[in-house]
A and B are shown apart, each in its own frame.
Chain A
Amino acid sequence: MKYVDEYRNSKEAELFANAIRKSTTRPWTLMEICGGQTHSIAKYSLQDLLPETISLLHGPGCPVCVTPINLIDKAVHIAAQPNVIFCSFGDMLRVPGSKENLLTVKSKGGDLRIVYSPLDALKIAQDNPQKEVVFFAIGFETTAPANAMAIYKAKLDDINNISFLVSQVIVPPAIRSILGSSENRVQGFLAAGHVCTVMGYQEYEPISQQYRIPIVVTGFEPLDILQGIYLCVKQLEEGRAEVENQYSRSVRKEGNLSAQKIIQEVFQIVARHWRGIGEIAQSGLGLREAYAQFDAENKFPHEVHSQERSTECISGLVLQGIKKPNECQAFGKSCTPESPLGATMVSTEGACAAYYRYQSV
């Protein structure tokens, strides 16, 4: 496919790797934010192309992984209601809840539908006016425009038998939280190209200045990631700390303004709980008062007392880049993608699943 294949060329990857090797004089620790990037790094064994002095930590940018267990339990509860059609991205079905996951509800006869876009859920609601349709609106800034538009359309077209279980999170507060932690080892970030396609990268400038840390907005293909690493290392070696844009074929500084407008219309900034990490202030989006009627938590009020089951799972540490998946006792043994103990083993964007799939155990 044009604009995809050429960014996977191994000869050119080798050239970048060479340039990185030449410009590195000291050890550096970088973190890629996005799970899509983690997936590419594992799939193309990019770490092997880098000098040993450069370590890559994998960040929290996996929407399925950070969706809190409390919302999984709520989803399970709602999906089990007799009159409900529960719509979700496929990745969410195997994510462990306190007792059950969504797949269990399906096997017990719940009407669960895997959809590609929130607009599909809207269509299902229009086609089934006698049913209550609920969409599990998870994701980062990349998914927010789609979710916001579906909610906006529901209100505009008076589709009242749909609601949204919202778990929208945003990246910059998570970066601040990582940098503010006493355990932090990250010296440079590869920011997520698609998140910045929507939001732009102005918000990263004060973070880069305050923490004196390079942030390079980076794409997902192997050459993008290698160039992102090269630019990041170059800044570190030259003692600079700036925001740079590697993914300029998609990202403009101000982002996509029409998408931001709809996000603003529908959502407001709220505190969110990140699974394995904890609550981060102002790190998510919640529905504004004007859209409260579409909030599944209002429509299906239900108290859940959620509790993580496995003590072996260290996915919280993996998500913060403190541990690597293969440092987990359960990795590839009691925890596999078929029977995952933690969400990072479920999603293709999760670091544990990426390691399991592409690395020999």
Chain B
Amino acid sequence: MRIGQVGFGGISKEINLAYVPEAKVGNYVIVHVGFAISILNEEEAHRVFETLHELNAMDNPDLS
């Protein structure tokens, strides 16, 4: 089973990568009880903020 070093804001832990076979060095992963269960999709990660900016633009049309 593939094991990787995963940093959690300062500390680093050995995490089992069996469920994210495509994980590469530099990826962000979601970890639960010692296992990575997904690779974070960095494009999707920005969507929350895009929605917010759209909402904001609807409120303040002059600023957009």
Contacts and interface: CB of A to CB of B under 8 A. Distances in A.
Interface of A: 1-4, 6-7, 12, 15-16, 18-19, 89, 116-120, 139, 142-143, 145-146, 149, 153, 194, 197-198, 223-224, 227, 246, 248-252, 256, 258-259, 262
A145 B37 contact: yes
Interface in B9-52: 9, 16, 18-21, 28, 30, 32-35, 37-38, 40-42, 44-45, 47-49, 51-52
Nearest to A223: B48
Interface SS, B side: mixed
State which size class the interface on B falls in.
Answer: 20 to 34
B62 interface: no
Interface SS, A side: helix
B56 interface: yes
Contacts of B8: 1
- Among A3, A117, A143, A262, the most chain B Cβ lie within 10 Å of the Cβ of A117
Contact of A146 (B28, B34, B40, B42): B34
A145 B35 contact: yes
Nearest to B42: A249
B33 A12 contact: no
B40 A116 contact: no
A227 B51 CA distance: 9
A249 B44 contact: yes
Given A1-B9, A15-B52, A119 B34 contact: yes
Contact of A248 (B16, B34, B47, B56): B47
A143 B32 CA distance: 7
Contact of A194 (B21, B30, B55, B59): B30
Given A3-B28, A146-B32, A248-B44, A18 B59 contact: yes
Nearest to A23: B55
B32 A194 contact: yes
B59 A149 contact: no
A230 to B, nearest CB: 8
Contacts of A142: 32, 37
A256 B36 CA distance: 11
26 contacts: A1-B8, A1-B9, A3-B28, A4-B9, A6-B49, A12-B52, A15-B56, A18-B55, A116-B34, A119-B34, A120-B34, A139-B33, A145-B37, A149-B16, A153-B1, A194-B37, A223-B48, A223-B52, A227-B48, A248-B44, A250-B40, A256-B19, A256-B37, A258-B18, A258-B19, A259-B37
B52 A250 contact: no
A112 B35 CA distance: 23
A249 B56 contact: no
B33 A146 contact: yes
